[in-house]
Amino acid sequence: MSTPETHHPDRSIQLTTAENVRDLGGYSTHNGSKTQWRRFVRSADMNTLSESDQSALINYGITTVIDLRMQKEIATHPNVFTHASTVDFRVHDFWGTRFDTYRSTNKTAPGYQKLADLYCAGLEQSGFVMADIMTTFAEDSRTGFAFHCRSGKDRTGLVAAMLLSIAEVPHTTICEDFALTKEYLNSQAINPINSGKPGAWLLDCEAETMHCTLQFLDQKFGGVIEYLQVQGVSTDSLQTIKDKLLD
């Protein structure tokens, strides 16, 4: 029996001071290509990265680090690369303050659906941020990207789903990649986006959540590419990102 692509031995990047660090390479696309290794890396928080782990990421080929966290998270736990001369550092705060008071209104829905509802609302209300993220990815001089939020699950998961969709990786694989956080994240310190006591559904990391999210984009926009175009991402930028993922 073959090993699933999600469990490729090169998927995990072994760092001792960061969790959920994994490469988006090695995924098959609809046309038979594969996403390339050492191009896009997703991760949990980087505020405690040791100097040796920072060097490991740089030696891995990371030249651009993108922090997706809220300003209040960054203020209390600054990214170690904030003032680094060794990488280009960008902040793209995906949630902002737009979801500080968010509560699920679908009380009877399963947890995976409640989380998908949050993701869908985020993609709509923070679409301009997602467009900025994609613009950073598309900039010609930038290669070797690492992007992260707090746990590397929600905001990071959405960005990873956009990238893999641009590369034309099947939805099933994208959903499986999302669910890998359950295996990669050892810490239970997953903070919700609001200041109230978290509902259990905020901690969910089921493939069904991403399936519902991608289904929403298919139904409302015609797919991820169309969604990104509506947000203002140009065709040229999308092609540049695809080239970085595949070539």
Span 144-200, pLDDT tens digits = 999 999 999 999 999 999 999 999 999 999 999 999 999 998 754 444 444 344 577
pLDDT of residue 206: 95
Q: How many domains does the chain have?
A: 1
pLDDT of residue 193: 46
Residue 52 placed within a domain: yes
pLDDT of residue 188: 46
How many C-beta atoms surround the C-beta of residue 186 within 10 A? 9
pLDDT of residue 140: 83
Residue 227 placed within a domain: yes
Helix (H, G, I), strand (E, B) or coil at 38: coil
> Mean of the pLDDT values across residues 34-50?
97
Which residues, 6+ apart, have CB-to-CB distance to 96 below 8 Å?
70, 126, 129
> What is the Cα–Cα distance from 229 to 241, expressed in whole angstroms?
13
Span 72-102, pLDDT tens digits = 999 999 999 999 999 999 999 999 999 999 8
Q: Is the pTM of this model over 0.75?
A: yes
Residue 2 placed within a domain: no
Residue 193 placed within a domain: yes
Q: Copy the structure tokens of residue 90.
A: 């960008």
pLDDT of residue 187: 53
How many C-beta atoms surround the C-beta of residue 169 within 10 A? 23
Span 193-221, pLDDT tens digits = 443 445 778 888 999 999 999 999 999 99
Span 51-78, pLDDT tens digits = 999 999 999 999 999 999 999 999 999 9
Q: Which residue, 105, 99, 83, 122, is CA-closest to 192?
A: 99
Average model confidence (pLDDT) across the chain: 93
Residue 4 placed within a domain: no
> Mean of the pLDDT values across residues 136-146?
93
Residue 3 placed within a domain: no
> What is the Cα–Cα distance from 222 to 205, expressed in whole angstroms?
25
Q: Are 117 and 216 in contact (CB under 8 A)?
A: no
Percent of the chain with pLDDT over 70: 94
Residue 77 placed within a domain: yes
One-letter identity of residue 66: I
> Mean of the pLDDT values across residues 114-141?
96
**For residue 181, what are the domain limits?**
12-95+105-246
Residue 212 placed within a domain: yes
pLDDT of residue 3: 62
CA 69 and chain centroid, separation = 11
CATH number of 141's domain: 3.90.190.10
Q: Copy the structure tokens of residue 99.
A: 């979801």
